[in-house]
Protein backbone atom coordinates (compact mmCIF):
# COMPACT_ATOMS: atom_id res chain seq x y z
CA UNK A 1 0.00 0.00 0.00
CA UNK A 2 2.84 2.38 0.86
CA UNK A 3 4.44 1.80 -2.56
CA UNK A 4 1.33 2.83 -4.48
CA UNK A 5 0.52 5.67 -2.10
CA UNK A 6 3.97 7.03 -2.92
CA UNK A 7 3.70 6.41 -6.68
CA UNK A 8 0.26 8.06 -6.82
CA UNK A 9 1.08 10.75 -4.27
CA UNK A 10 -1.96 9.90 -2.16
CA UNK A 11 -2.94 8.72 1.28
CA UNK A 12 -2.32 4.99 1.96
CA UNK A 13 -5.89 4.63 3.24
CA UNK A 14 -7.16 5.38 -0.29
CA UNK A 15 -4.99 2.57 -1.64
CA UNK A 16 -6.25 0.24 1.08
CA UNK A 17 -9.85 0.85 -0.04
CA UNK A 18 -8.92 -0.50 -3.49
CA UNK A 19 -6.44 -3.12 -2.35
CA UNK A 20 -7.59 -5.76 -4.88
CA UNK A 21 -6.96 -3.36 -7.78
CA UNK A 22 -3.44 -2.50 -6.66
CA UNK A 23 -2.66 -6.11 -5.84
CA UNK A 24 -3.61 -7.06 -9.41
CA UNK A 25 -1.56 -4.17 -10.84
CA UNK A 26 1.45 -5.29 -8.79
CA UNK A 27 1.24 -8.74 -10.42
CA UNK A 28 1.05 -7.17 -13.90
CA UNK A 29 3.60 -4.35 -13.67
CA UNK A 30 6.47 -4.69 -16.15
CA UNK A 31 4.77 -7.66 -17.85
CA UNK A 32 5.80 -7.41 -21.52
CA UNK A 33 3.18 -6.33 -24.02
CA UNK A 34 2.99 -8.78 -26.88
CA UNK A 35 0.50 -10.40 -29.19
CA UNK A 36 0.87 -13.78 -27.51
CA UNK A 37 -2.00 -14.66 -25.15
CA UNK A 38 -1.03 -15.97 -21.73
CA UNK A 39 -1.69 -15.60 -18.03
CA UNK A 40 -0.59 -11.97 -18.05
CA UNK A 41 -1.86 -8.93 -19.90
CA UNK A 42 -0.79 -8.91 -23.54
CA UNK A 43 -2.25 -5.63 -24.75
CA UNK A 44 -3.87 -2.52 -23.32
CA UNK A 45 -7.35 -3.89 -24.13
CA UNK A 46 -6.55 -7.26 -22.59
CA UNK A 47 -5.16 -5.60 -19.45
CA UNK A 48 -8.32 -3.52 -19.17
CA UNK A 49 -10.53 -6.58 -19.67
CA UNK A 50 -8.61 -8.54 -17.04
CA UNK A 51 -8.84 -5.72 -14.48
CA UNK A 52 -12.59 -5.41 -14.92
CA UNK A 53 -13.04 -9.19 -14.85
CA UNK A 54 -10.79 -10.03 -11.90
CA UNK A 55 -11.03 -6.87 -9.78
CA UNK A 56 -14.56 -5.61 -10.45
CA UNK A 57 -16.17 -8.92 -11.51
CA UNK A 58 -17.49 -7.27 -14.69
CA UNK A 59 -17.15 -8.40 -18.30
CA UNK A 60 -16.15 -5.82 -20.90
CA UNK A 61 -14.88 -6.01 -24.50
CA UNK A 62 -11.11 -6.24 -25.02
CA UNK A 63 -10.76 -4.07 -28.13
CA UNK A 64 -10.45 -0.31 -28.29
CA UNK A 65 -13.26 0.06 -30.84
CA UNK A 66 -15.68 -2.17 -28.93
CA UNK A 67 -14.98 -0.31 -25.68
CA UNK A 68 -15.33 3.08 -27.40
CA UNK A 69 -18.65 2.09 -28.98
CA UNK A 70 -20.14 0.28 -25.97
CA UNK A 71 -23.42 1.78 -24.69
CA UNK A 72 -22.55 0.35 -21.25
CA UNK A 73 -19.66 2.81 -20.98
CA UNK A 74 -20.90 6.43 -21.08
CA UNK A 75 -18.11 8.69 -22.34
CA UNK A 76 -17.00 12.12 -21.17
CA UNK A 77 -14.16 14.39 -22.22
CA UNK A 78 -13.38 16.46 -19.13
CA UNK A 79 -10.52 15.07 -17.09
CA UNK A 80 -11.99 16.77 -14.00
CA UNK A 81 -14.59 13.96 -13.75
CA UNK A 82 -12.06 11.11 -13.70
CA UNK A 83 -12.40 8.60 -10.86
CA UNK A 84 -10.50 5.43 -10.02
CA UNK A 85 -11.48 2.62 -12.39
CA UNK A 86 -12.52 4.85 -15.30
CA UNK A 87 -11.38 3.87 -18.78
CA UNK A 88 -9.11 6.39 -20.50
CA UNK A 89 -8.99 6.44 -24.29
CA UNK A 90 -5.97 7.70 -26.21
CA UNK A 91 -5.57 8.28 -29.93
CA UNK A 92 -2.59 9.32 -31.99
CA UNK A 93 -3.56 12.07 -34.40
CA UNK A 94 -2.25 11.56 -37.93
CA UNK A 95 -1.53 14.78 -39.81
CA UNK A 96 -2.28 13.08 -43.16
CA UNK A 97 -5.66 11.81 -41.98
CA UNK A 98 -8.85 13.66 -42.94
CA UNK A 99 -10.47 15.45 -40.00
CA UNK A 100 -13.02 13.38 -38.10
CA UNK A 101 -11.65 9.96 -39.08
CA UNK A 102 -10.43 7.60 -36.39
CA UNK A 103 -6.75 6.60 -36.42
CA UNK A 104 -5.62 3.23 -37.66
CA UNK A 105 -5.06 0.27 -35.33
CA UNK A 106 -1.89 0.61 -33.27
CA UNK A 107 -2.47 4.33 -32.84
CA UNK A 108 -5.10 3.80 -30.15
CA UNK A 109 -4.73 2.81 -26.51
CA UNK A 110 -6.92 2.36 -23.45
CA UNK A 111 -5.88 2.52 -19.81
CA UNK A 112 -7.44 2.48 -16.36
CA UNK A 113 -7.43 5.66 -14.30
CA UNK A 114 -6.01 5.31 -10.80
CA UNK A 115 -5.62 8.54 -8.83
CA UNK A 116 -3.96 11.97 -9.15
CA UNK A 117 -3.70 11.87 -12.95
CA UNK A 118 -1.98 8.46 -12.92
CA UNK A 119 -3.20 5.46 -14.91
CA UNK A 120 -2.13 1.91 -15.68
CA UNK A 121 -1.71 0.77 -19.27
CA UNK A 122 0.00 -1.91 -21.32
CA UNK A 123 2.12 0.65 -23.10
CA UNK A 124 3.37 -0.10 -26.59
CA UNK A 125 5.84 2.77 -26.09
CA UNK A 126 7.33 1.15 -22.94
CA UNK A 127 6.71 -2.41 -24.12
CA UNK A 128 5.22 -3.40 -20.76
CA UNK A 129 2.49 -2.74 -18.20
CA UNK A 130 3.34 0.57 -16.53
CA UNK A 131 1.83 3.39 -14.51
CA UNK A 132 1.97 6.67 -16.40
CA UNK A 133 1.17 10.31 -15.73
CA UNK A 134 -1.74 11.76 -17.67
CA UNK A 135 -0.05 15.17 -17.47
CA UNK A 136 3.02 13.99 -19.37
CA UNK A 137 3.42 15.61 -22.77
CA UNK A 138 3.17 12.24 -24.54
CA UNK A 139 -0.13 11.15 -22.94
CA UNK A 140 -1.84 14.54 -22.54
CA UNK A 141 -1.57 15.13 -26.31
CA UNK A 142 -3.16 11.74 -27.01
CA UNK A 143 -5.99 11.91 -24.45
CA UNK A 144 -9.29 11.60 -26.31
CA UNK A 145 -11.97 10.82 -23.73
CA UNK A 146 -12.84 8.71 -20.71
CA UNK A 147 -15.67 6.37 -19.86
CA UNK A 148 -17.24 4.88 -16.76
CA UNK A 149 -18.88 1.45 -16.80
CA UNK A 150 -22.54 1.65 -15.75
Helices (H), the chain: 2-7, 12-17, 19-28, 44-54, 64-69, 137-142
pLDDT, tens digit, for every residue of 2-40?
899 999 999 999 899 999 999 999 999 998 886 544 445
Question: For the chain, what are the domain ranges?
Answer: 2-94+105-147
Q: What is the pLDDT of residue 107?
A: 79
Mean pLDDT of 92-103: 52
Q: What is the dihedral of CA 141, 34, 39, 31, to 10 degrees?
A: -60
pLDDT, tens digit, for every residue of 32-44?
886 544 445 568 7
Strands 87-91 and 108-113: antiparallel
CATH superfamily, domain 2-94+105-147, is endopeptidase domain like (from Nostoc punctiforme) (3.90.1720.10)
Phi, psi of 129 (to 5 degrees): -75, 125
SS3 at position 64: helix
Amino acid sequence: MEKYASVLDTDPSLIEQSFTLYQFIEQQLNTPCSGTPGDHATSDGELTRQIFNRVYDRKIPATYDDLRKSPLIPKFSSRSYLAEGDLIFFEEEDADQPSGEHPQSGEQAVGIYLQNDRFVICSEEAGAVVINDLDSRYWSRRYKMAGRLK
